[in-house]
């Protein structure tokens, strides 16, 4: 057997990256277009380049002493925006290339990993891909705004429709179609329709096996009436036709010919300052027509949700209360969950930053009722504000992500403070969550957590920042019994002047559901990062080390993020 | 991966960077200071439901437009300084206009945050990301844009680290309008 020979397509593929990055080079906000239609337009370019050297723990069988499977991933994202009064044109182009992704073994060429599915996506390169992810044109006249291309929609409190970009977890699904917004006096009418367009190339996650996905059709409308004294009202509705796996090879536009799978409708009412309280209440119904969504019931299924919030500001205290009751709402996302996005989402009432694999079940529950109360006391407004919050949830759903086979009651008190004094910053949050099952033999799951940030100036333009995150989780008894675990995500930062930051990261986890291994020990991860900001429009980061895999929840969506070991260079610039 | 391949990858990266950086003059100026016009603001509403009017609410004033969200921790730290700047210079023709890009789900949490900290600036809802899409398509936060009294973009800044407010105040002081707008804040 011959030893494996590496095949590096780096130089060939560098032309792709180079060409794209060149586009992101000197482009200024200039009067670019003379006296033509686009006179006085402004062109803005945001370029984000990232190169990652992945150290892969797996070894090629028979060659355990060689890092054959290590590779380099390079991702570039360019956002171009042309704007002038009354007109905006935007384009997002993403490009990814894998370097050192092939090797010869016994003179046979092997690919270590497949970047994309060639049956669905066409690219002239095996290990590189360029995608025009998003594009839009917005034209506005007095009181009318029309956008064609990629649009987003978020009605009421998101229960009937919530298609938005979730920057936090690198999920960006838009509707490729059109949106019209008409504003006349105190009335705003928004209508939109399009086919879902899932962002193909990921900036934060490894790009492998990229598929085109199956587009879904979403159409919706909202009418909002303001200025009715202290009242504001909205009425909204949306309808959905979801693509199935067997629709993969059909034209996406065909979704408009298919039967509607589900429809949602609701009304929301805002009342400002009544008895010193700001009120909001919303009710929605969701009708499921498709058999897959209605548990096979030919007559369909009706889900509903009620959400309300109230906030009051007596003296130095702010009291915020929100509550919800949902029945069969989350199943609206049944078809899209596999593609990591949701078309609608009920407010979670939760402190999402600490949600675990188990806790995410209540966030994404079909049938859940709950209330959250948060009280902030502004001892020194804007400077020192401690708070206490308690969330109580009754989760009746037993399907989907639920580990348990019994309804449960979740109680989650959280307390914390913010102290912003000059350049000194302290932010602390800590809490304890208990998921108590009705079946007492199944026990309860418990989670204790603490996260915080401390930033202290130390003179001569230097500052020290400490960020802490600790979670400890104890499982009850259930068929999917896992071991208890402890997780930590900490960072120590030295800010040197306005331009430099030096960061030391440390993660620790013995969570059996975490799929990565530490680089400093089986459970211990460490990394160094240098950040350089030569100008306010440019940032460069160089990272070496590892961080752990784990679940991350944001905006009512949870995503498993893989761990990383290796080196990474990121460069963001804006012109 | 062998050392040779690492070298190739490094060369490729070098090529990308050299192509992108271009001549040293590339970064010689604050690009947005070259006179780009502020984009049209879509019809956004503030916390009281009042519509924001680009012409009426921006023209004649120096305005810092701040994009934030309830889940953005650095935004929370920065906003205290924005409020101080708003209060310190509002009689000199300066204002802060704050734009929450929270989606519909967390819209109820916006006003309590503003009220508990006693912020005095105007807050707009950009629930469907209409404005941020035409200003900062990446939607990373916080993001600030200083707009002159003639609707020219004077300065932009992404992210916040304690101390950034010093540079922000310098930019504001250097660009305060020569004559005060007819109406107050």
CB contacts under 8 A, B 20-49 vs A, are 20-23, 26-27, 30-32, 34-37, 39-40, 42-43, 45, 48-49
Least confident of A7-11, A514-518, B47-51: A7-11
Name the strand (E) or helix (H) holding B166. helix B164-174
Per-residue pLDDT at A555: 65
Who wins on pLDDT, A271 or B130? A271
Share of chain A above pLDDT 90, in %: 61
Contact (CB, 8 A) for B113 and A320: no
Reported as a single tens digit per residue, the pLDDT across B85-135 is 999 999 999 999 999 999 888 999 999 999 999 999 999 999 988 898 888
Question: Distance between CA atoms of B172 and B146, rounded to whole angstroms?
Answer: 8
The encoded tokens of residue A196 equal 């879902």
Contact (CB, 8 A) for A391 and A370: yes
Task: Judge: A311–B112 Cβ closer than 8 Å, yes or no.
Answer: yes
Per-residue pLDDT at A34: 58
**B6, B11, B16, B114: which to substitute to probe chain A, counting the most A Cβ within 10 Å?**
B16
Question: Distance between CA atoms of A341 and A364, rounded to whole angstroms?
Answer: 12
Reported as a single tens digit per residue, the pLDDT across A378-415 is 999 889 999 999 999 999 998 877 777 889 999 999 99
CA nearest to A81 within chain B: B134
Name the strand (E) or helix (H) holding A23. helix A10-23
Question: Distance between CA atoms of B165 and B144, rounded to whole angstroms?
Answer: 11
Per-residue pLDDT at A143: 87
Q: Mean pLDDT throughout A524-536?
A: 92
Per-residue pLDDT at A61: 83
Place of tokens 């062998």: B2
Least confident of A89-93, A319-323, A337-341, B56-60: A337-341
**Complex confidence, ipTM:** 0.85
Task: Judge: B108–A311 Cβ closer than 8 Å, yes or no.
Answer: yes
B14 touches chain A (CB under 8 A): no
Q: Concatenate the DSSP letters of all residues of A394-456 into one string.
A: EE---STT---SS-EEEEEEEEEEEEEETTEEEEEEEEEEEEEESSGGG-EEEEEEEEEEEEE
Task: Judge: A13–B77 Cβ closer than 8 Å, yes or no.
Answer: no
| pLDDT surpassing 80 at residue B33 | no
Task: Judge: A167–B112 Cβ closer than 8 Å, yes or no.
Answer: no
CA dihedral (A439, A440, A442, A448) in degrees, to 10, reads: 120
CB pairs under 8 A between A and B: 273
Q: How far is A478 from chain B (nearest CA, A)?
A: 32
Q: Concatenate the DSSP letters of all residues of B36-87 into one string.
A: PBPPPPP--EETTSPBP-HHHHHTTSEEEEEEE-TT-HHHHHHHHHHHHHHH
What's the pLDDT band for B181 if we cut at 50, 70, 90?
low
Q: How far is A217 from chain B (nearest CA, A)?
A: 18
Contacts B21 to A, Cβ<8 Å:
25
Per-residue pLDDT at A396: 93
Per-residue pLDDT at A323: 98
| pLDDT surpassing 70 at residue B20 | no
CB neighbours of residue B46 within 10 Å: 17
Q: How far is B98 from chain A (nearest CA, A)?
A: 16
- Among B22, B162, B167, the residue with its CB nearest the CB of A463 is B162
Q: How far is A341 from chain B (nearest CA, A)?
A: 14
Task: Judge: B36–A143 Cβ closer than 8 Å, yes or no.
Answer: no
CA nearest to A281 within chain B: B108
Reported as a single tens digit per residue, the pLDDT across A314-364 is 999 999 999 999 999 999 999 998 888 999 999 999 998 888 888 888 888
**A82, A88, A495: which to substitute to probe chain B, counting the most B Cβ within 10 Å?**
A88
CA nearest to B83 within chain A: A382
Per-residue pLDDT at B159: 86
Reported as a single tens digit per residue, the pLDDT across A207-263 is 999 988 889 999 999 999 998 889 999 999 999 999 988 887 788 888 998 899 999
Domain ranges in chain A are 142-295+327-346
CA nearest to B154 within chain A: A29
CA nearest to B24 within chain A: A26
Question: Distance between CA atoms of A90 and A574, rounded to whole angstroms?
Answer: 15
Q: Mean pLDDT throughout A96-116?
A: 91
Domain ranges in chain B are 28-174
Domain B28-174, CATH homologous superfamily name and number: Glutaredoxin (3.40.30.10)
Contact (CB, 8 A) for A153 and A193: no
Contacts A17 to B, Cβ<8 Å:
12, 16
Q: How far is B143 from chain A (nearest CA, A)?
A: 11
Contacts B56 to A, Cβ<8 Å:
none
The encoded tokens of residue A542 equal 């160089």
Task: Judge: B167–A498 Cβ closer than 8 Å, yes or no.
Answer: yes
Mean pLDDT across chain A, nearest whole number? 88
Cβ burial A475-507 (10 Å sphere, 16+ → b, else e)? bbebeeeeeebebbbebebebeeeeebebebbb
Per-residue pLDDT at A35: 57
Share of chain A above pLDDT 70, in %: 92
Q: Concatenate the DSSP letters of all residues of A531-552 into one string.
A: EEEEETTEEEEEEEEEE--EEE
What's the pLDDT band for B17 if we cut at 50, 70, 90?
very low
CA nearest to B118 within chain A: A381
Task: Judge: A309–B108 Cβ closer than 8 Å, yes or no.
Answer: yes
- Maximum separation of any 2 CA atoms in chain B, in Å: 69
Question: Distance between CA atoms of A437 and A476, rounded to whole angstroms?
Answer: 9
Nearest to A73 by CA among B139, B1, B17: B1
Least confident of A187-201, A445-459, A517-531, A532-546: A532-546
CA nearest to B114 within chain A: A382
| pLDDT surpassing 60 at residue B21 | no
Contact (CB, 8 A) for A256 and A250: no
Dihedral of alpha carbons A142, B103, A88, B148, sign: positive
Q: Mean pLDDT throughout B60-81?
A: 93
**A536, A565, A569: which to substitute to probe chain B, counting the most B Cβ within 10 Å?**
A536
Q: How far is A67 from chain B (nearest CA, A)?
A: 5
């Amino acid at each position: 057997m011959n030893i494996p020979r590496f095949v590096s397509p780096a130089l060939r593929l560098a032309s792709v990256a180079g060409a794209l990055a060149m586009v992101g080079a000197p482009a200024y906000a200039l009067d670019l277009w003379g006296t033509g239609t686009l006179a006085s337009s402004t062109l803005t370019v945001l370029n984000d380049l990232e190169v990652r050297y992945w150290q892969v723990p797996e070894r090629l069988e028979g060659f355990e002493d060689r890092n054959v499977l290590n590779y380099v991933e390079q991702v570039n994202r360019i956002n171009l925006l042309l704007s002038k009064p009354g007109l905006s044109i935007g384009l997002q182009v993403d490009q990814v290339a894998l370097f050192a992704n092939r090797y010869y073994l016994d003179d046979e060429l092997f690919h270590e990993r497949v970047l994309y599915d060639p049956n669905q996506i066409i690219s002239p390169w095996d290990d590189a891909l360029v995608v025009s992810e998003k594009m839009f044109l917005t034209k506005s006249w007095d009181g009318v705004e029309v956008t064609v291309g990629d649009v987003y929609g978020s009605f009421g409190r998101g229960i009937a429709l919530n298609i938005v970009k979730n920057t936090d977890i690198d999920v960006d699904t838009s509707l490729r179609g059109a949106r019209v917004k008409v504003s006349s006096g105190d009335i705003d009418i928004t209508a939109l329709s399009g086919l879902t367009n899932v962002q193909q190339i990921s900036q934060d996650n490894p790009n492998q096996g990229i598929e085109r996905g199956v587009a879904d059709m979403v159409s919706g409308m909202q009418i909002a009436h303001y200025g009715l004294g202290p009242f504001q009202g909205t009425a909204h509705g949306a309808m959905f036709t979801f693509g199935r796996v067997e629709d993969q090879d059909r034209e996406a536009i065909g979704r408009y010919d298919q039967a509607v799978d589900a429809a949602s409708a609701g009304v929301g009412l805002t009342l400002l300052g009544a008895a010193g309280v700001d009120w909001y209440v919303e009710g929605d119904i969701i009708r499921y027509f498709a058999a897959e969504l209605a548990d096979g019931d030919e007559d369909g299924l009706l889900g509903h949700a009620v959400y309300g919030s109230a906030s009051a500001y007596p003296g130095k205290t702010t009291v915020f209360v929100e509550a919800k009751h949902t029945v069969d709402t989350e199943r609206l996302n049944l078809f899209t969950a596999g593609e990591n996005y949701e078309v609608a989402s009920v407010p979670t009432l939760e402190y999402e930053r600490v949600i675990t694999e188990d806790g995410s079940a209540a966030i994404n529950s079909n049938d859940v009722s709950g209330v959250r109360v948060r009280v902030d006391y502004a001892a020194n407004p804007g400077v020192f504000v401690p708070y206490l919050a308690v969330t109580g949830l009754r989760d009746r759903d037993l399907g989907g992500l639920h580990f348990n086979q019994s309804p449960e009651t979740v109680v989650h008190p959280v307390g914390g403070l913010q102290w912003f004094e000059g350049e000194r910053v302290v932010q602390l949050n800590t809490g304890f969550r208990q998921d108590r099952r009705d079946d007492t033999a199944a026990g309860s799951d418990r989670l204790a957590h603490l996260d915080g940030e401390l930033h202290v100036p130390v003179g001569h333009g230097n500052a020290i920042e400490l960020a802490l995150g600790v979670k400890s989780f104890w499982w009850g008894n259930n068929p999917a019994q896992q071991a208890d675990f402890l997780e930590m995500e900490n960072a120590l930062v030295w800010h040197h002047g306005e331009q430099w930051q030096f960061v030391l990261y440390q993660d620790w986890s013995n969570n059996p559901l975490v799929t990565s291994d530490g680089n400093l020990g089986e459970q211990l991860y460490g990394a160094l990062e240098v950040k350089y900001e030569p100008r306010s429009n440019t940032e460069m980061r160089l990272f070496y080390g590892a961080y752990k895999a784990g679940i991350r929840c944001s905006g009512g969506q949870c995503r498993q993020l893989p761990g990383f070991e290796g080196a990474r260079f990121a460069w963001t610039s804006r012109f | 991966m062998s050392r040779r391949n690492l070298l190739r990858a490094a060369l490729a990266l070098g090529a990308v960077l050299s192509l992108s950086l271009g001549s040293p003059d590339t970064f010689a100026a604050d690009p947005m200071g070259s006179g780009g016009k502020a984009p049209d603001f879509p019809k956004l509403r503030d916390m009281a439901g009042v519509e924001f009017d680009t012409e009426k609410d921006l023209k004649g004033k120096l305005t810092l437009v701040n994009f934030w969200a309830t889940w953005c921790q650095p935004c929370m730290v920065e906003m205290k300084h924005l409020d101080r700047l708003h209060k310190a210079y509002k009689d000199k023709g300066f204002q802060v206009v704050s734009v929450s890009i929270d989606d519909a789900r967390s819209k109820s949490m916006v006003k309590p945050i503003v009220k508990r900290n006693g912020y005095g600036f105007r807050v707009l809802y950009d629930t469907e990301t209409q404005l941020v899409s035409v200003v900062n398509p990446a939607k990373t936060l916080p993001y600030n844009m200083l707009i002159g009294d003639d609707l020219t973009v004077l300065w932009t800044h992404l992210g916040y680290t304690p101390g950034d407010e010093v540079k922000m105040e310098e930019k504001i002081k250097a660009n305060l309008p020569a004559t005060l707008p007819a109406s107050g804040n």
